[in-house]
Amino acid sequence: MAEIAEAAPQRVAARPRLRGAASLLGTVPFFAYVTIFLIIPTLVVAIGAFTGDGGHGFTLDNVRALADEYIIAAFGRSVLLSALSALFGAVFGGLLAYAVSTAKPGGLLRRVVTALSGVLAQFGGVTLAFAFLATIGLSGFVTVWLQDHTGFYIFENGVWLFELPGLVLIYTYFQIPLMVIVFLPALDGIRPQWREATENLGGTTWQYWTRVAGPLLAPAFLGSALLLFANAFSAYATAAALVSQGSPIIPLQIRGALTSEVVLGQANLGKAMALGMVVVVAIVMTLYSLLQKRTSKWLG
Amino acid sequence: MRKLNRSVVVAMAAVTITAVTACSPPEKKSEATTDGAVSAATAASAQDLGGMDALVAAAKKEGALNVIALPPTWANYGEIIKAFGDKYGIKVNSAQPDGSSQDEINAADQLKGQDTAPDVFDLGGSVATANTAKFAPYKVATWSDIADGQKEATGLYVNDYGGYMSIGYDSAKVPAPAAVADLLKPEYKGKVALNGDPTQAGSAFGAVQAVSIAQGGTVDDITKALDFFGQLKKAGNFLPVDPTDATIQSGQTPVVFDWDYLNAAQTAKVPTWKVVVPANAVLGSYYNQAISKGAPHPAAARLWEEFLYSDEGQNLWLKGGARPVRADAMTKAGTIDKTAFAALPAVSGTPVFPTEEQTKKAKDQLAASWAKTVG
């Protein structure tokens, strides 16, 4: 594919070259930042996961405890929640992104949607949980309005907003805009000439989507979906603000292990769970980068 | 892009990492300005410092006190903090008001050696007994009024105030529950909440133990309570929302299991809020005071304890609906606030105070099955 895509003319700016180590000084802030916020916490988690209670001695107990029924169940629910919200986000976000990509470049629709997506994709945590509580919570205004005007009570069959279904709904809310942001560049990379070429050669719309655009977009689409999965899998604040019982998902189990005043001495079990999460996200991100490689081949 | 020499980059990274790790905060030297400040950190009673006046002087010199995890509406702590600050002219910094007992210990560990570290703790029983190495022993002036079973012999931690597990309900929204089992009725659909997750919060754990007694179980075998909450969940009555002042006032959590002093505090804002201690299922629990070994304001920390265990401090807790540990001694001496004492919710049956062992058994059961019960 790369041969077809015309490379944009590269403008090479002439820069004075710094010598040797001096030019590396610029990387110091980056390494310092990564060390403090990524490497050290990861080491703390990895070491803690194999440390006994009280902070001394090597042990496999914490990692073994990950096989406990309730932890396995929480991992399962975390994966289910992430997968469902990534699926809904990818489908709806993908459709929205396609609609935007066919709109006039620089037009009002496109500008509004991308700006909104930029804001809403980062709209999470306590504020988002509260927004949902105020609208469709137990005494939220939509809930009350529906009950007064139609007699329909949305919590007739239980308080689903505070359980997994509620989390799927709320996560999807920030997954859709994120999908728009990460998937739009791939859609923009599809050239109208390819469609014209398909039609000139007698291809139908169906054939264009299944033989040309589909295969081209598939890696980008799957990659974006994986990114959404990782995004949901590691989200914590929204669920923490909303769900206070039973810690259905792993980030909440970790919270419980670290701050419980009832069951003590679980801090390192929490770290072992965090290590489990790191492993899951590492697998997902590896797949994501492989798919990104495929996409970038033709995304000029 | 010009390829950077890889080994140079690795070397740079290594240097940076070493530099960053070397930048951990230096140990704070205790600024021994006077002899008082030094000995305050090891004083095990006011006498050790030369009497109450000397303690007050040393505390005023420090001028500040760090408390943690004390919500203003919890056992009247808002007024207690204000009264202490006004009386001695000491600034009280209250951090993380909604924290748990474990959060207090975590904060002390993480802020070790800094001026913002907590000076004093208010802890649930399990957290107190598990962390005695972090406390400084201290005996308040009223030490002899406290029963032996309610204090650690050297004063590492001492019961401060307690209460009984109760059901608070908004009588404008739900009928009065005569017994715990009533909560399974359809009138309570989506209305029954615990104060926190019982695997994390002491008050919610107490609720599970109280329900266990009410349902014919014991405090160490909570199978019957788990059955009850399973049924409550199945009936759609269990509400997995953390009750706060806001949820109670807005009517989102019309029925709340909580310590009676916390439920009683709500009646001030919601006049229709009523508190009942379930008949013949009286579960009691005391919290504990402890002074942090590494308290940045050792004298103020000790003065705070003296204030809490004085008649004034004890009556302030009582005003908040909590039962102060010196209640019996003060009743004998006639110093107790009689109106506040009479206003406490009525109790029928003998209060049960679970031992550490009983609680441990119940916890193991709970940790394994709570998520399943309400999941």
Whether pTM > 0.75 for this model: the answer is yes
Q: What is the pLDDT of residue B112?
A: 93
Cα–Cα distances in angstroms (integers) from residue B335 to residues A175, A282, B317, B325, in the given order: 62, 65, 14, 14
Q: What is the pLDDT of residue B97?
A: 92
Q: What is the pLDDT of residue A87?
A: 97
Per-residue pLDDT tens digits for B208-246: 999 999 999 999 999 999 999 999 998 889 998 889 888
Q: What is the pLDDT of residue B12?
A: 52
The mean-pLDDT minimum among A296-300, B250-254, B283-287 falls in A296-300
Which of A20, A243, A259 shows the shortest C-beta gap to B240? A243
Q: What is the pLDDT of residue B126?
A: 87
Preferred mutation among B4, B16, B287 to probe A, highest tally of A CBs within 10 A: B16
Preferred mutation among B173, B199, B209, B364 to probe A, highest tally of A CBs within 10 A: B199
Instruction: Please state, in angstroms and rounded to a whole number, the distance separating the CA atoms of residues A162 and B71.
Output: 25
Which residue of chain A is at minimal alpha-carbon distance from B375?
A: A246
Nearest-neighbour CA in chain A from B165: distance (Å)? 16
Q: Which helix (H) or strand (E) holds B199?
A: none
Instruction: Please state, in angstroms and rounded to a whole number, the distance separating the CA atoms of residues A122 and A128.
Output: 10
Which residue of chain A is at minimal alpha-carbon distance from B1?
A: A12
Q: What is the pLDDT of residue B374?
A: 81
Contact check, Cβ <8 Å, B241/A138: yes
Preferred mutation among A262, A269, A273 to probe B, highest tally of B CBs within 10 A: A262
β B64-68/B91-95 pair status: parallel
Q: Which helix (H) or strand (E) holds B231?
A: helix B223-234
Residue type at B250?
Answer: S
Given a contact cutoff of 8 angstroms between Cβ atoms, the answer to whether B187 and B194 are in contact is: no
Q: What is the pLDDT of residue B167?
A: 96
Q: Which residues contact B272 (CB under 8 A, 6 or more apart)?
A: B170, B171, B172, B173
The rounded percent of chain A whose pLDDT value lies above 70 is: 91
Which ranges in chain A belong to alpha helices (H)?
A: 28-34, 40-49, 61-65, 69-102, 108-120, 125-136, 141-149, 164-189, 192-200, 205-207, 214-233, 237-242, 250-259, 267-298
Which residue is listed with tokens 């508190």?
A: B275
Mean per-residue pLDDT over chain B, rounded: 88
Confidence of residue B7 (pLDDT cuts 50, 70, 90): low
Per-residue pLDDT tens digits for B45-58: 999 999 999 999 99
Q: What is the pLDDT of residue A196?
A: 92
Q: Is the pLDDT of residue B38 over 60?
A: no
Interface of A with B (CB under 8 A): 20-21, 23-24, 27-28, 31-32, 35-36, 39-40, 68-70, 73-74, 77, 137-139, 155, 157-159, 162-163, 243-248, 255-256, 258-265
Contact check, Cβ <8 Å, B252/A247: no
Which residue of chain A is at minimal alpha-carbon distance from B23?
A: A36
Per-residue pLDDT tens digits for B113-172: 999 999 999 999 889 999 999 999 999 999 999 998 899 999 999 999 999 999 999 999
What is the DSSP secondary structure assignment for residue B285, as one 8-state letter? E
SS3 content of chain B, % helix, strand, coil (to 5): 45, 15, 40
Q: What is the pLDDT of residue A86?
A: 97
**Nearest one of B16, B9, B12, B11 to A36, comparing CA atoms:** B16
Q: What is the pLDDT of residue B173?
A: 93
Cα–Cα distances in angstroms (integers) from residue B301 to residues A231, A295, B114, B204, B306, in the given order: 44, 63, 15, 29, 9
**Nearest one of B111, B129, B122, B118 to B298, comparing CA atoms:** B118
Chain A residues within an 8 Å CB radius of B21: 35, 40
Instruction: Please state, in angstroms and rounded to a whole number, the distance separating the CA atoms of residues B270 and B262.
Output: 13
**Nearest one of A247, A87, A108, A266 to A176, comparing CA atoms:** A87
The mean-pLDDT minimum among B93-102, B287-296, B301-310 falls in B93-102
Preferred mutation among A155, A245, A258, A263 to probe B, highest tally of B CBs within 10 A: A245
Q: What is the pLDDT of residue B5?
A: 54
What is the DSSP secondary structure assignment for residue A157, as one 8-state letter? T
Q: Which residues of chain A have pLDDT under 50?
A: 1-9, 300
Confidence of residue B373 (pLDDT cuts 50, 70, 90): confident
- Is residue B199 less than 8 Å (CB to CB) from chain A? yes
Q: What is the pLDDT of residue A17?
A: 59
Question: What is the phi/psi pair of residue B337, to 5°?
Answer: -75, 100
Chain A residues within an 8 Å CB radius of B354: none
Q: What is the pLDDT of residue B6?
A: 53
Contact check, Cβ <8 Å, B240/A162: yes
Per-residue pLDDT tens digits for B24-37: 444 444 444 444 44
Q: What is the pLDDT of residue B242?
A: 87
Question: What is the phi/psi pair of residue B232, to 5°?
Answer: -60, -40
